Amino acid sequence: MATRNARYDEVADWYVGFTRDWSAEARPLLPSDLSGQQVVDLACGLGDLSRLLASSGASVTAVDLSTNMLARATDQGEAQALGIRYLVGDVTTTSWWDGEPFDGAVCNMALMDIDDLDAAFATAAHVLKPGGWFSYSLLHPCFPGLRESASEQLSSWPPDRGYAYEGWWTTQGDGVRGRVGANHRMLSTYLNATLRAGFEFEEFREPAAPMPRFLVVRCRRGAA
């Protein structure tokens, strides 16, 4: 995960112990055959999905703004000898890109951490071949949060502003939203941003849960 000012640099050590393997949420909407594909992992964070892609036969470029997160991703990737190329870069720009288009792109549990959503989608579209696939996963915009106790609700958006409020905020508590913060956006905002970037939707997935927790989307860049 990354944002323009690399907020995750300061919490990288904590995040390694806090997080789990988020790649599990993205797996069902990945192509069944990745052999020989050139794939970019945008805002790769600790690189869980990068390693999954590489172990499935893809040639992976992993990009993140946080040098501390990339250092930990690199250590794990090199230990498995997967040949992943790690780049420090802002995924709301293409300054890190060498101009060679990718067959596919992923952005795993990171769009909530990126302030300029339209720029991130524009980057994904720009670095893909015409017809290239893009899969992203995120905390479901409609997820209302978790109840910590009978009197305390850890919300997914400012409780006094409600679901329609969009923007960066923090709970001032524990977890990612407490230590780092996150952007809350409505579901329609993500879907419309996807369309504005020229993608065509292919499939959606909401893993079974008592309430919506994660959203996974697969789309494809228009052939034009």
Pairing of strands 85-88, 59-64: parallel
| pTM assigned to the model | 0.87
Domains of the chain and any CATH numbers: 7-140+188-221 (3.40.50.150)
pLDDT, tens digit (0-9, with 9 covering 90-100), for 24-71: 778 889 999 999 999 999 999 888 899 999 999 999 999 999 888 898
Give the pLDDT score at 126: 98
pLDDT, tens digit (0-9, with 9 covering 90-100), for 105-155: 999 999 998 999 999 999 999 999 999 999 999 989 998 876 554 444 567
Interacting residues of 154 by C-beta distance below 8 A, sequence separation 6+: 145, 146, 147, 148, 171, 173, 175, 177
Q: Rounded to a whole number, what is the distance in angstroms from the first to the last CA of the chain?
A: 30
Question: Does residue 180 carry a pLDDT above 60?
Answer: yes
124, 118 Cβ separation under 8 angstroms: no
222, 200 Cβ separation under 8 angstroms: yes
